[in-house]
Amino acid sequence: MSHIVIIGAGECGARAAFALREKNFDGRITLVGAEEHLPYERPPLSKDALLHGLEPKLVSDAARYADADIDVLTGHSVESLDPAGKTFQLSNGNCLTYDRLLLTTGARPRPFPGLSGVNHRIRTLRTHGDAVAIRAALQPGKHLAIVGGGFIGLELAATARKLGATVTLVEGLPRILSRGVPEEVAVVVATRHKAEGVEILCSVKIQGLSEDREGAYVLLDDRRTIEADLIVAGIGAIPNVELARDAGLATDNGIAVDTHLETSDPDIFAAGDCCSFPLSLYDGRRVRLEAWRNAQDQGTLAAANLLGAGEAVSAVPWFWSDQYDLTLQIAGLADGAMQTVRRNMTDGAFILFHLDADGRLLAASGIGAGNAVARDIRLAEMMIAASLRPDPVVLATPGTKLKTLLAA
């Protein structure tokens, strides 16, 4: 009987395991994860999990794994991988075999330079355990300092303010959300945070972070010190490639895979945050995406290709973030855009459409309250997938339904 092993028990790995059964694979499936919990969703860790309770939001409960005959080994890290022998060794010393392997090892927070040892008041946010530790400092009378103005830091800032904590956010670049988010959208987000009482310091260089029994400290280059009860560093993520790299698999800003998510070993695939892949929609540009929906999509695709489907990656990159009542959504990749068209909507919501030199729609970035931009961003995603060249005047006209551009 064929045995497929999935190393990495997160959203992507769990999705792949169930997709294998949905595609009528009747061999053995083993899902291996280093954390004690069953696979859970990470996006709520900076939002709902901190606001409404600290139980992880499971992808599926234990009964569903049992019903699908999926063996889940939690609390087991993989120490080494031998592609030639098709074996891998667990942290408890056991050696297991596989016929085909999927790596969904994810990514980990980038540590702040210069820090070492165990830090109780300087933390990152990636796991359920991290969220539990951070939650204690999110209450009235407490001061949270956040290093990094990306999605994680800003979502955490919004949650902390809802819980009554004072927040200072420090960003070294001239503005927040400088990675992949247009400045017009970032301005709306920054303005809202400031209105909610978040102190945002941009273009600020940090000399170091430290802690003692009394608190945590952000030492700035201008000799100012920000004193806080807790510091959370959100300065990016590093793909977990060590297992693959040490086993001789190719890496390139992640575990390098082809358009079918196949690694340099034909019996090993990789998917999710840990892998980089060529995206034909953007002329074969190699990308690595840290996104919830990408983890789901690639988990399903990897399952199909483990069974020989030979399907290529075709999904349009999609990102989202909820902060206060604002929802930010981005479809596509705006790199290479030569023209941006703004479409104003009701109640201050708007979408920016990013076109290349030939007028092809590359990306769309929208922000508004609740689901104000969701429908049009979905339609824009479909236009991007179809490589359409929409009329900029039509894009900018609020009264024109985007659905008519797809029909045309």
| C-alpha–C-alpha distance, residues 361 and 353, integer Å | 7
> Can you tell me the distance from the alpha carbon of 282 to that of 204, in angstroms, rounded to the nearest whole number?
34
What local confidence, expressed as pLDDT, does residue 406 receive?
84
Amino acid at 332: G
Q: Which of the following CATH numbers is that of domain 3-108+238-306: 3.40.50.720, 3.50.50.60, 2.40.110.10, 3.30.450.20?
A: 3.50.50.60
Name every residue whose Cβ is closer than 8 Å to that of residue 31 and which is 6 or more positions away in sequence.
Answer: 5, 6, 9, 13, 14, 17, 39, 65, 70, 71, 72, 73
Question: Residues 317, 322, 325, 326: is their CA dihedral positive or negative?
Answer: negative
CB–CB of 347/301 below 8 Å? no
| Overall fold of domain 325-407 | Enolase-like; domain 1 (3.30.390)
CB 395 within 8 A of CB 403: no
Q: What is the pLDDT of residue 359?
A: 96
What are the residue boundaries of the structural domains of the chain, listed by start? Answer: 3-108+238-306, 111-233, 325-407
Q: What is the helix (H) or strand (E) element at residue 191, kind and residue range? A: helix 183-195
**Amino acid of residue 61:** D
Q: Which CATH class is domain 111-233?
A: alpha beta
Instruction: Extract the residue ranges of the chain whose pLDDT is less than 50.
Output: none
In order, the DSSP letters of 121-178 are: SEE---SHHHHHHHHTT-STT-EEEEE--SHHHHHHHHHHHHTT-EEEEEESSSSS-T
Q: What is the pLDDT of residue 153?
A: 97
- Strands 166-171 and 143-147: what pairing? parallel
**Residue 242 corresponds to which tokens in the numbers above?**
């060590």
Distance CA 144, CA 170 (A): 11
Matching residue, tokens 């056991």: 94
Its pTM surpasses 0.75: yes
- pLDDT recorded at residue 1: 65
Q: Do domains 111-233 and 325-407 have the same CATH topology?
A: no
What's the start-to-end Cα distance of the chain, in Å? 50
**pLDDT tens digits, residue range 295-353?**
999 999 999 999 999 999 999 999 999 999 999 999 999 998 999 999 999 999 999 99
Whole-number Å distance between alpha carbons of 299 and 286: 18
